[in-house]
Amino acid sequence: MTNNWKLDGEWGKEKEVVLITGGASGIGELMARGFAKENGVVVVVFDLKEPVEPFPPNIHYHHCDVTSSSSISLAAAAIRKEHGDPTVLINNAGVAACRTILDESEEMIRKTLEVNVVAHFLMVKEFLPKMIEKNHGHVVEIASLGSFVTVAQLVDYCCTKAATMAFHEGLSAELKARYKAPHVRTTIVHPSWIRTPLISELYKSPKWKEAMLEPEDVALEVVKQVLSGRSGTLVIPKEGSWVRGLRAYPDWYQIVGRSGYAMVMDVL
């Protein structure tokens, strides 16, 4: 699916600066290393934790709290001075607690909302204006199949992923109808369960039976999507695309589907 049904056709014509939040580990790190293999690409990583393994020379780590506009502004000033404005923004940072509504602390609920949703607004407000000015860029939102179906013990996380989908749709509409910047691309990514530290307490349980994606599976698809110059919606794996239509079914069918996902989480 492509935004405005157009191709950018401008990837690589100027120096591309790819900015990835939560890029010091997991999927973010793999995306950073994937982009760094492209000629002329500079990769910038925002994260609170430093990378465990050394980055190559064209990946630059900046300590940044993406829930703080002042922290973002300080890091943004540094990268603009060193590399110029980002042409690709990947909102990848995320947290999850795997707790029921009653068991989860207020502190963690607020942190999940701030990292998984509020940070997307703050990052876009900081970096989108220059993309609009140049009518060139790409904003990628890392969401989840949880955007379409809320899972027991991941309610706050699924709420944030539904919000991420709404944010992506609204941003795409504003770029076309308000900012007249059709060559600023937008992509949203909906992966299934991924073998990352985010849900390690789930898949390390002997009761866990669900198929898992490897982080490389998702990172590679995102890199390919950005390099294509296309906007899009990625469901990974493609076999999970049926979940997007769940809400079109009768209520009883939706209840059965959600009940199945609730059983999946009953491993802790």
Per-residue pLDDT reduced to its tens digit, 126-165: 999 999 999 999 999 999 999 998 888 899 999 999 999 9
Instruction: Check pLDDT > 50 for residue 2.
Output: no
| 147 token code pair | 């955007």
* Average pLDDT rounded to a whole number, residues 101-127: 98
Report the phi/psi class of residue 249: left, alpha or beta, with left for phi > 0 and alpha for psi in -120 to 50.
beta
Total of domains in the chain: 1
Q: How far is Cα 193 from Cα 199, in angstroms, rounded to an integer? A: 8
pLDDT on residue 253: 78
CATH number at residue 203: 3.40.50.720
Q: What is the mean pLDDT of residues 206-231?
A: 87
Which residue do the tokens 């910038």 mark? 44
Residue 210: the pLDDT is: 67
Q: Which residue has the tokens 């002042």?
A: 70
Could you list the active site residues? 157, 161
Cβ-contact 34, 59 below 8 angstroms = no
In Å, what is the CA distance from 195 to each residue of 44, 55, 56, 186, 208? 24, 22, 24, 26, 12
Domain hosting 189: range is 3-264
Asked whether the predicted pLDDT for residue 4 surpasses 50, the reply is no
Task: Indicate if the pLDDT at residue 222 is higher than 70.
Answer: yes
pLDDT of the residue at 105: 97
pLDDT digits 0-9 by tens, 239-265: 878 888 878 888 887 887 777 666 565
Asked whether 50 and 61 are in contact (CB, 8 A), the reply is yes
**pLDDT at 190 exceeding the cut of 50:** yes
- What global pTM score does this model have? 0.90
